Amino acid sequence: MNWKTICKNKLLSAKEAVEKIKPKSYVFMGAFGSQPKGIEKELVNQSERLKPLTIVQGTVFGTTALLDPRMKNYFRYISLFSTKEVRIAIKEGRAEYLPCLFSEQPEYIEKYFSPNGGPDVACIQVSPPDNSGFCSLGVSVDVARKAADCSKMVIAEINNNMPRVHGDSFIHVNNIDYLIENHSPLPEIKVIEADTISSKIGEYIGELIDDESTLQLGIGTIPDAVLKTLKHKKNLGIHSEMISDGVVDLIETGVINCTKKTYMPGKIVVTFLIGTKKLYDFVNDNPMIMISPVSYTNNPNIIAQNSKMVSINSALQVDLVGQVASEAIQYMQISGVGGQVDFVRGANLAKDGKSIIAFPSTAKKGEISRIVCGHNSGTFITTSRNEVDYVATEYGIAKLKNRTVRERAKSLIAIAHPKFREDLENEAKDLNIF
Ligand code: COA
């Protein structure tokens, strides 16, 4: 029998489903590639009745109507990861950022988000139910799994475009209170052709990656540039919080096959997926993919079970003792901690593991150095100097772990942009670092 017949009583319009939400509720909204857009629009339409509504949401690719300036007095918006739109909203007092390791966000949702712990409502997006009545959370399991499990009410948008991804992603229709149909296309992020700086960084990092390594890579030009250098490597694996299109090419050519992984061999372990239709088609019903809650994928003790684990993440600024700032510059919340610290820790604990922080040597069109003598206040430390291992720029690699402060300063200045090196050296001497 068709699922629509079986779920007849639960199938509502977005308007009807949102009418089930009580004013002053605490609401979890799906994020990443799973933003429930139909519900989002209706929350705005019904904001007068619902106010004040507390909303928590992870990374939003693109925009969200929930952050429309006109919603300021109706919604309290808590962001788990800042993007450009969220950054402005935080600055204007329309959103708040929650500092929290990605691996610990499910615990926050379950225990600390509302006065009673979990959310009153979880709004999620799922694939259509299979013959046994199971929907897949698809491209975003991360925090959504916990939210769906611990919320008092679950409203799900069924999307025919949502892939059915294997792993801890399944939710039975019996555990969903209301269903809405919304078959909008998933958001897409394309591989950006690497510029010369990213290509150079990619080449340096490629040299650090041995055959049979297991990789964690984020989104962006540097991870894509790294992937391009791996064509001749053998038997690579993936244990990452996410993968994008670039990984699919290396799987299809057999470079990434996960056969030598020491943990979950044969499986690509991830917690969310973002790319283009190419990726979404690839992961659909693909037993090689194992998508799991972020409390599992990003648990450093789980990550560490992968020998030759290599984590590759980016940063905004690093000081000469190796303190890595990846989230904020002088109180401007540019992004979030994400899984950086989880994977740095996991890779450091792994047998023969390496953690790499990579970024172009300058920002603001070459005007400022990303390697600085010391951070200003409001430039928060993401990865501590005690945990940082390798730092890469287009000028090479600095190995920091097991190196003294003076050794670190020397090797970081050597990979700073040449036009800033003398100033950095002088500042370091003045401060007795050098
Ligand atoms: N001083 C001032 N501004 C700086 C800066 C610095 N040192 N470095 C970067 N910026 C600004 C850029 O100018 C840019 O501003 P814009 O958006 O107005 O153009 C913005 O910060 C983002 O910088 P950019 O270099 O374009 O960022 P990116 O897209 O390469 O991402 C991080 C870099 C650090 C923000 C990103 O990797 C991140 O969020 N990391 C933390 C989370 C993480 O590691 N997750 C794990 C993998 S998913």
Q: Is the CB of 369 under 6 A from ligand 1?
A: no
Q: Give the Å distance between the CA of 52 and the centre of ligand 1.
A: 32
Residue 188: Cβ within 10 Å count: 16
Question: Which residue among the candidates 40, 110, 241, 425 is catalytic per the annotation?
Answer: 241
Task: Report helix, strand or coil for 416.
Answer: coil
Closest of 423, 245, 228 to residue 320, by C-alpha:
423
Q: Is the CB of 364 under 6 A from ligand 1?
A: yes
**pLDDT at position 4:** 84
By the 10 Å C-beta count (0-12 exposed, 13-18 middle, 19+ buried), 10 is classed as middle
pLDDT tens, per residue, the chain with 434 residues: 688 887 888 999 999 999 999 999 999 999 999 999 999 999 999 999 999 999 999 999 888 999 999 999 999 999 999 999 999 999 999 999 999 999 999 999 999 999 999 999 999 999 999 999 999 999 999 999 999 999 999 999 999 999 999 999 999 999 999 999 999 999 999 888 899 999 999 999 999 999 999 999 988 899 999 999 999 999 999 999 999 999 999 999 999 999 999 999 999 999 999 999 999 999 999 999 999 999 999 999 999 999 999 999 999 999 999 999 999 999 999 999 999 999 999 999 999 999 999 999 999 999 999 999 999 999 999 999 999 999 999 999 999 999 999 999 999 999 999 999 999 999 999 998 88
**pLDDT at position 62:** 84
Q: Is the CB of 334 under 6 A from ligand 1?
A: yes
Pocket test for ligand 1, best of 60, 313, 314 (most atoms within 8 A of CB): 314
* 241 has catalytic annotation: yes
DSSP assignment, residue 295?
Answer: H
**pLDDT at position 433:** 87
Ligand 1, atom 35, lies closest to the CA of 335
Q: Give the Å distance between the CA of 281 and the centre of ligand 1.
A: 29
**pLDDT at position 218:** 86
**pLDDT at position 8:** 86
Amino acid at site 169: S
What's the pTM?
A: 0.97
Cis peptide before 418 (omega within 30 of 0): no
Q: Give the Å distance between the CA of 372 and the centre of ligand 1.
A: 15
Residue 429: Cβ within 10 Å count: 11
Residue written as tokens 């010369």?
Answer: 196
- Half-sphere exposure of 399 toward its Cβ, with a 13 Å CA cutoff? 4
Ligand 1, atom 47, lies closest to the CA of 218
